[in-house]
Structure 1
């Protein structure tokens, strides 16, 4: 077979090379309750309170609530538990990991001019983890929907010329795998894997053939699927805030974001269906993602009276630039006249894709807090984020334009409610909180709402504070195996539990 080796095809648009989709948009647009133990023990309801390094990540005016300079460092243990169902199969998984999830300092400068309404200024720097991507599970079940991994490759192949998805005469599979991706893009590369592994059968053995069928047929497929992800989304923040008069606080954050995300999936499918030529398939994919971005935050806090405070903050969109690399492996076993014959495509090729840009949605947070003198407090935060405004860029790109339409049609405005309380007994503080996060998807059966609660203790030793917290959150969601073809999903009940320890210092 001879493929058309036209050099100008290398100038195909970026979006045809790697298929970003709605799951990427949601993954990098969400944030979690991370930060100090005090912050987490009250479920992050700190928008009107301030006086905590993680509160500054919600409302940048909060650093001017400090009466003296302050620093803190937090470590946590993240525990993840999953219950997974896939057709008639079920399994469970659990994992835990220690991590540094917050550190920072705010430096308070009092204005020595008694006639100025600007009472004090605060400058701060902080690191906060936004999201944790650590998760792993596996499940096995009998797919009775007649969906096979062959349908994945077939979805990409239909309509593609055979000479644009096959190896040249005397060309190695590794070279062909790399060159087809370079010349024609990701879709042709997936079709190549299906064809060269004998999963796909062309209607005619000619260069211009564009019609294919699968050599995997039948109604039942034994499928095992392994999912393993690691990494996090974090940010470094520069904070500046000020107190005006006795009752008003204003602040600004400039944030530098970074993404580090790795994912590995392994599908093993077998069948004994009559007429199925390919009996065994193992398909592995590894993705490595790094990204950087920028955002800003504006915030204000007002003391309505000695007990009641109100806060308002705006988080801008985050503008990311993201780079991705992938590797793949495909192995098949087919029946050749009663003998099993294997075909391995292990290219040892790292696919390096052009950078793409992602704009996540902005967020507005309104907050109220009531202070009971020195005895305690109650606090409430409400946030609103329109996930439908998430955009891949450039928006003029035809593929990205299609994906942005899918995002707009399937994602929605999502509200977050957080409530927290604290009760002080001399040097000891008792804390608790609850949070509810709406699903970003219009179809909540696909990706459910999140419910969480938290508890904590604080110990005040004067210039040193020690805080501990436990928080728990639960969400049900569906993990679709592939974006095309084999689109069946595993149903996952996910529970995350965290223990956090924070050491704080008055400087």
Structure 2
């Protein structure tokens, strides 16, 4: 990629963005992230409270705190992906270390025992929603060329629009077709300029049909995918304790998402006619922010039992994105050709809404040293929606492919003097109405805590398993990459009571 592309910024005034339902899931995704105690118990904290990450399940949980508390947590993540493409297996590994949580809670107790409100709390907490870092590599033999995708993108566009006008430069035509036909028009233009596709009637500038310039039936294809980024939220929390029986709480959340997705598709053959190599590179940068609200209650019928109920509103987001793409080809007739606009397309901002969430919780405290908890969550992914022009197809895909998904979180903690032993289990139903694109998620969690005076040290381990399917190209290339994803998280944190 040439350095000059970073010096030339192109404002693209069109409604056709680079997003689809997969990005909608990235915006809505919430992994098991938080304090080490929270993760060690499988995140089953909706009725437990007393932990800064518990606030993202039920904001009433801050009223459980007995004293002021500050917590800081680091998370190490390792991804191991087994990738299957066209009967060929590859493996990819990636790791990173980052802050998963940091926050503080202040507790103000009533001086008069006769007042109904026994306690009020105020706090602020950062919690990473999802560590998006991921990568995989796939290769195999295929009879379907990526040229078929570009034929689909070009069909319907008059040849006259894919040909620079008199005294018009390559970049000016790229600009013009982008404003008229959007991203698909730009991809068609790059494919035509790099000889990936030809017009079926090159002598007619009004012709709107195209054909592949790849004639090989046995193609070697490679695909590299890299995702780098995070999503998270900063929550401003307040809760009250009414009569030591009922806790009520609210969060005001500021949400952010920031990621880059780089893909490279390389197709080669030994064919002497037409194009024998195509390299299609894409770099998408996405940034967004939003706001949401959480409401929750915890009721204690007796000291040993806690019942929780919470509701998370949708997150209303504003998204910005920019895209760079290029196509390189090689052929005997034209040699090496690089159709590179050397610019980033900056798309108009757009709106997105995540699904709301409803959670019911139960916790049992036995003999003051054994804690058992469970959360049941329902989230309707069909309510995800792009609320700007140009996203009708993406919204239709969401309505067709998504479903209401349930999540079950179970956790336990056993205390032996200053030591706490923890374990948990998650079962998260796939957001897809079938399991073709992604299976259900299973997590197994373990944790350990140690209290030293006013300080508690925690460590946890989480194993996450899921199978998913990644479609390399939206159309024209039938073979997806099937991925068996195995994720390992080791989290360490420290909490200070003051």
- Map 1:388-407; keep pairs closer than 5 Å: 388-394=382-388, 397=389, 399-407=390-398
Which secondary structure state, in structure 2, belongs to the residue aligned with residue 213 of structure 1? Answer: strand
8 Å contact from structure 1 (residues 12, 184) kept in 2: no
Counterpart Cα distance in 1 of 2:265 and 2:167: 30
Match in the other structure for 1:195: 192
Q: Summarize the Cα distance change of 1:422–1:505 in structure 2 as closer, same or farther, 3 Å threshold.
A: same
Counterpart Cα distance in 2 of 1:271 and 1:435: 46
- Which of 362, 365, 372 aligns to 1:368? It is 362
Displacement after TM superposition at 1:178 (Å): 3.0
Match in the other structure for 1:172: 169
Match in the other structure for 2:7: none
Match in the other structure for 2:415: 424
8 Å contact from structure 1 (residues 178, 349) kept in 2: no
Query: How many residue pairs end up in the alignment?
Result: 487
Give unmatched runs, 5+ long, in structure 2. 1-10
Counterpart Cα distance in 2 of 1:256 and 1:367: 25
- Which of 144, 148, 151 aligns to 1:151? It is 148
Match in the other structure for 2:289: 292
Counterpart Cα distance in 2 of 1:215 and 1:35: 52
* Match status 1:501 vs 2:462: no
- Map 1:99-498; keep pairs closer than 5 Å: 99-143=98-142, 146-205=143-202, 206-273=204-271, 276-336=273-333, 341-394=335-388, 397=389, 399-498=390-489
Displacement after TM superposition at 1:38 (Å): 0.2
8 Å contact from structure 1 (residues 80, 497) kept in 2: yes
Counterpart Cα distance in 1 of 2:306 and 2:17: 48
8 Å contact from structure 2 (residues 86, 479) kept in 1: no
Counterpart Cα distance in 1 of 2:64 and 2:172: 62
Query: CA-to-partner distance for each residue in 1:388-413, whole Å, 9 max, x for gaps?
Result: 1111113xx4x423321221111001
Taking only aligned residues, the RMSD between alpha carbons, in angstroms, comes to 1.6
Counterpart Cα distance in 2 of 1:461 and 1:85: 49
Displacement after TM superposition at 1:419 (Å): 0.3
8 Å contact from structure 1 (residues 330, 344) kept in 2: yes
Match in the other structure for 1:51: 50
Counterpart Cα distance in 1 of 2:235 and 2:99: 16
Displacement after TM superposition at 1:469 (Å): 0.4
What's the TM-score, normalizing by structure 2?
Answer: 0.95
Counterpart Cα distance in 1 of 2:89 and 2:175: 37
Give unmatched runs, 5+ long, in structure 1. 1-10
8 Å contact from structure 1 (residues 117, 245) kept in 2: yes
8 Å contact from structure 1 (residues 77, 498) kept in 2: yes
Counterpart Cα distance in 2 of 1:12 and 1:78: 37
